[in-house]
Amino acid sequence: MSTHQTRRNFLKVSTAAGGGFLLGFSFLTSCEQKPAAVAMAPELKMPEQWTQLNGYLKIGENGVVTIINPNPEIGQNVKTSMPMIIAEELGVDWDNVIVEQGKLDTENFSRQIAGGSQSIRQGWEPLRKTGATARAMLIAAAAQQLEVPATELRTEKGMIYHDASGKSVGYGEVASLAATLDVPEEVELKDPKDFTIIGQSTKNVDARKIVTGQPLFGIDTKREGMLYAGIVHPPAFGLELKSFNADAALAMPGIVDVFAIDCAPEGKQLQWSDGPTVRKQVAIVGKSTWQVLQAKQAIEVEWEQTSAPETSAGHKEKMADLIANGKAEEARRDGDPEAAFARAAKIVEATYSAPFLPHNTMEPMNFFAHVTEDKAELYGPIQTPEFLEKTIATLFDMDPAQIEVGMSRMGGGFGRRLYGSFGVEAALISKAAGAPVQLTYSREDDMTQGTYRPDYLVKYRAGLDADGNMIAFHVRGTGTHGSPIFENRFPAGTTDNYLAEKISMDSNISTGAWRAPASNFIAGAEQAFLDEVAEAAGKDPIDFRLELFDRAIKNPVGERNDYDAERYAGVLKLVREKSGWDADSGDARGVAAYYCHNSYVAQVLDLTLDTSGKPQVEKVYCAVDCGIVVNPEGALNQIEGGIIDGIGHALFGQLTFTDGKPDQSNFNTYRLIRHPEAPRQIETSFVENGIAPTGLGEPSLPPVIGALANALYQATGERVYDQPFMGSLPG
């Protein structure tokens, strides 16, 4: 494969190539420099002197290569898989690679975001080119040094060989020369069949540090002169800070100061990621986390009601009314749905709901900040460092050059750390306190000041003809701050008469992206509904879906269908085979398939009920089409995690509100899935097709909720419509 780009673009940032991706890398920032502090595995060290070949690579004279991971690591394993892609094209031995977490660096990198399962998909080409370009420059340097034509050189594991003369030279020996050469405009990328790193299970590069408890996470940050900080935010949505009295708190041991902060002053242009920010809060600063956590409870705060308090019951009523009577946006209409329903032999109708969900990353929100008059240093767990920098620049009237944002490893993200208000709070506190601070939320702060997965309500109708063919399909859905409907996803394109309607509901409760936004609800609803429709049609649920895909392959309805029906059907066929669907497993089984975040997933879930009727998931068979699997072990881990996370939230997850206040605030009242409730076994199979890879942080979660609902029906004879499912089950 040959790729071409103009040198100017390559040196700067390649924008909008192929539909708007952004990923920059600049070469020629050649420099001999002493490393400040190189993060490294204990067994592998960079030498004192090394050459920086571009924003991603440092090559030591001894051939040890440091690859900078550009994107935030939230547990999706990009810190391993993105450098693997560079290392593959660079042609080095993975055992000779050190991975270092990059800081926010808009000169050298673009899209330093952890979100939407996009890091691998959008990084694929640019990361390959980065490795391949560096390799080409090393070859060119070797050609000069060995005085042989570059075309006669080959590379293997960090060595460059001239077979005819028997000469060879290591990358480290030519790196400093390579860095002075012109950047080639065209580079050859490897044929995927020659991959030696991509496709090999590669251990998490931080695993050793994790299992030995080394400081990796934002909450572990400690600096000279650092103070510990906490915040007091409104206890309910609809309240704002009016006044506070901190006399008692200030008298407590270790407390240095208590003051109000304003995260969104009038006239300051904030970023989208600041949307859910609580404007005014009370900040407290002290000498230890515990002293701060204790003393903040002694601050007397007067809150002002600025908008009406909301309740979960009120939301349910309002959403039911919107579904029944609300004015909807007609997002898609094919054919004549009303006429088709009128002539249908059978109509199936069902309504599904889901509650708010907090993210509950195991590491509570926290951030380090040291802000002075002319400089801001921020470090911590953030999925959107660039947006945090922009907000800091705005708030403190600084140039981005005065701001440094570093990303720690994150104790989970799931979307919560897209919204970096905790970083803004830390910066404001540091500036006001005149000291470096580490802000840490209590679990209660974290759970009750969230950007929650919205609550949803969706109503489906399907019309079947006398032969059990689906001739009409109607979906109408609402949710807080937006409808969960994706109007162009399956089964759009499979049914002549189709109507999708969206209704958004206002609320003062803040919501945001939560692992597989909207898909995390709508996939389960849709796949449970189709199971019910298949049953009404008298068809096997997999056969029923395959018939629909067959229609979408041969004669799709409409042109805006947002899926590849062959790949969709492919995962369903694969899971049918792997699960032995056509034989009886003995357990209650449910099936589901979904496509989101560019990857296709189908699952068969087997469960049993214990004597009390409590379900136990025995096994989940999962078929995945994400194109090329960059790191199989990491991919399996993501898929298994999504499955367990999906089952857990569908069974137990709910955050409810009374008078604007979350009823659950910690793990004694909020139920997350625990070890004994996880599936006993998960078996994943990948479709092998050589297509460019897509992400896996999210796609396995949405469908498993449908597979679970369908298996529960097989086990109990009762359909489940409202999450959490355990609300209607024993145990």
- The contact set with another protein (CB under 8 A) reads 42, 74-77, 201, 203-204, 206-208, 210-217, 219-220, 222, 228, 253, 288-291, 293, 360-364, 409-414, 440, 442-443, 633-634, 637-638, 640-645, 648, 666-668, 672-676, 678-682
Closer residue to another protein, CB minimum distance, 387 or 414: 414
Closer residue to another protein, CB minimum distance, 493 or 634: 634
Closer residue to another protein, CB minimum distance, 248 or 345: 248
Q: Minimum distance between the CB of residue 205 and another protein, rounded to whole angstroms?
A: 11
Closer residue to another protein, CB minimum distance, 222 or 242: 222
Closer residue to another protein, CB minimum distance, 507 or 664: 664
Q: What is the identity of the amino acid at 261? A: I
Q: Which two tokens stand for residue 188?
A: 């050859």
Q: What is the Cα–Cα distance from 71 to 83, expressed in whole angstroms? A: 10
Q: Minimum distance between the CB of residue 464 and another protein, rounded to whole angstroms?
A: 37
Closest CA to 8 of 21, 24, 22, 19: 24
Q: What is the Cα–Cα distance from 522 to 453, expressed in whole angstroms? A: 12
For tokens 């204790």, what's the residue? 294
Closer residue to another protein, CB minimum distance, 293 or 530: 293
Distance of CA 729 to the CA centre of its chain: 31
DSSP for 51-87, written as a single string: EE-BSSEEEETTS-EEEEE-S--SSS-HHHHHHHHHH
Q: Minimum distance between the CB of residue 441 and another protein, rounded to whole angstroms?
A: 10
Closer residue to another protein, CB minimum distance, 76 or 176: 76
Closer residue to another protein, CB minimum distance, 31 or 362: 362
Closer residue to another protein, CB minimum distance, 12 or 203: 203
Closest CA to 262 of 236, 246, 241, 247: 241
How many other CB atoms are found less than 10 A from the CB of residue 107?
12
Q: Minimum distance between the CB of residue 682 and another protein, rounded to whole angstroms?
A: 6
Q: Backbone dihedral region of 331: left (phi > 0), alpha (psi from -120 to 50 degrees) or beta?
A: alpha
Q: What is the Cα–Cα distance from 645 to 641, expressed in whole angstroms? A: 6
Q: Minimum distance between the CB of residue 28 and another protein, rounded to whole angstroms?
A: 36
CB 588 within 8 A of CB 605: no
Q: Minimum distance between the CB of residue 303 and another protein, rounded to whole angstroms?
A: 23
Q: Minimum distance between the CB of residue 377 and another protein, rounded to whole angstroms?
A: 20
In angstroms, what CA-CA distances link 504 with 94, 329, 358, 483, 490? Answer: 49, 9, 20, 5, 21
The pairing of beta strand 65-69 with beta strand 97-101:
parallel
How many other CB atoms are found less than 10 A from the CB of residue 686?
19
Q: Minimum distance between the CB of residue 215 and another protein, rounded to whole angstroms?
A: 5
Helix or strand run (H / E) with residue 650: helix 632-652
Q: Minimum distance between the CB of residue 389 and another protein, rounded to whole angstroms?
A: 23
Q: What is the identity of the amino acid at 596? A: C
Q: Minimum distance between the CB of residue 8 and another protein, rounded to whole angstroms?
A: 39
How many other CB atoms are found less than 10 A from the CB of residue 553?
16
How many other CB atoms are found less than 10 A from the CB of residue 328?
19
Q: Minimum distance between the CB of residue 709 and another protein, rounded to whole angstroms?
A: 19
Q: Minimum distance between the CB of residue 407 and another protein, rounded to whole angstroms?
A: 13
Closer residue to another protein, CB minimum distance, 448 or 497: 448
End-to-end CA distance of the chain: 57
Say how many CA atoms lie within 13 Å of 549 toward its Cβ: 21
Sign of CA dihedral 694, 696, 702, 707: positive
Closer residue to another protein, CB minimum distance, 429 or 678: 678
Q: Minimum distance between the CB of residue 360 and another protein, rounded to whole angstroms?
A: 6
Q: What is the Cα–Cα distance from 468 to 83, expressed in whole angstroms? A: 51
Q: What is the Cα–Cα distance from 517 to 698, expressed in whole angstroms? A: 9
Closer residue to another protein, CB minimum distance, 217 or 568: 217
Q: What is the Cα–Cα distance from 565 to 554, expressed in whole angstroms? A: 9
Q: Minimum distance between the CB of residue 701 and another protein, rounded to whole angstroms?
A: 9
The pairing of beta strand 159-162 with beta strand 153-156:
antiparallel
Closer residue to another protein, CB minimum distance, 337 or 653: 653
Closer residue to another protein, CB minimum distance, 172 or 695: 695
Closer residue to another protein, CB minimum distance, 91 or 662: 662
Residue 24 in 3-state DSSP? strand
In angstroms, what CA-CA distances link 721 with 268, 461, 584, 641? Answer: 44, 14, 26, 24
Q: Minimum distance between the CB of residue 531 and another protein, rounded to whole angstroms?
A: 24
Helix or strand run (H / E) with residue 282: strand 280-286
